[in-house]
């Protein structure tokens, strides 16, 4: 099953390190960050899960719940978490799905046969509270994920959901944003009172509207 942006994120029930969960119930009204990992005890994944745990407060500020999946079993997960906590001096408190039957991995198209017939690629899914897929990323097994970029995308998605703006290349929170072309300039003047910088009729910048 190939999932596209805007598709509904498939629901599932699965065994995790926090017990059996229903994915939708787990997410509730939060945003979701679903991460797949090729296998337990892999070095890159150890750093990634540790980094996810370290960013717990950052995700919480953004109303994001993290959850990870690996094709190994619960007992291995518990032991691996001990290593992660030790190596990254943190505490993994989000659930790690045991996906030995590849149910979740298949549902989210995480197994790419030309890369590996049994292990998941490093997939990233950002899911909004309405259970829509808002971002997908796929990394090769040798390359760790950039969590600064994941946070940046979440910030952009949450900002652009609330205002008629988009974020330009290399945008970071606090930078100017682009006014939607659906907003006429005469209307933009009142909607964006911080001012408008019109570079081209179709490219108009304004300071980030949710910052005082």
- Residues belonging to the active site: 45
Q: How far apart are CA 78 and CA 65, in angstroms?
A: 20
Q: What whole-number distance in Å separates Cα of residue 118 and Cα of residue 12?
A: 20
Backbone φ and ψ for 129, nearest 5 degrees, come out as -60, -20
For residues 131 and 162, what is the distance between their CA atoms, to the nearest angstrom? 17
In sequence order, what are the residues at sequence separation of 6 or more whose Cβ sits closer than 8 angstroms to the Cβ of residue 109? 1, 2, 3, 123
Q: Please, are residues 155 and 168 in contact by the beta-carbon 8 Å criterion?
A: no
Residue 117 is classified by DSSP as S
Q: Whose structure tokens read 């990992």?
A: 37
């Amino acid at each position: 099953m190939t999932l596209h942006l805007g598709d509904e994120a498939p629901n599932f029930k699965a065994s995790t390190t926090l017990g059996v969960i229903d994915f939708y119930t787990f997410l509730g009204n939060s945003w979701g960050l679903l991460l797949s990992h090729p296998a337990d005890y892999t070095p890159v994944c150890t750093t990634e899960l540790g980094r996810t745990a370290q960013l717990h407060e950052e995700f919480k500020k953004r109303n994001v719940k993290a959850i990870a999946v690996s094709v190994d079993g619960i007992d291995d997960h518990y032991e691996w978490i001990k290593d992660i906590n030790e190596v990254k001096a943190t505490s993994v408190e989000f659930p790690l799905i045991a996906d030995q039957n590849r149910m979740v991995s298949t549902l989210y198209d995480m197994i790419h046969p030309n890369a590996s017939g049994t292990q998941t690629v490093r997939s990233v899914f950002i899911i909004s509270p309405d259970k829509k897929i808002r971002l997908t990323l796929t990394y090769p097994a040798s390359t760790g994920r950039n969590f600064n970029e994941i946070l940046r995308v979440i910030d952009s998605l949450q900002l652009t959901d609330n205002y008629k703006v988009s974020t330009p290349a290399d945008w970071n929170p606090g930078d100017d944003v682009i006014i939607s072309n659906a907003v006429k300039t005469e209307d933009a003047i009142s909607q964006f009172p911080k001012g408008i910088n019109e570079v081209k009729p179709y490219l108009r910048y304004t300071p980030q509207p949710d910052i005082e």
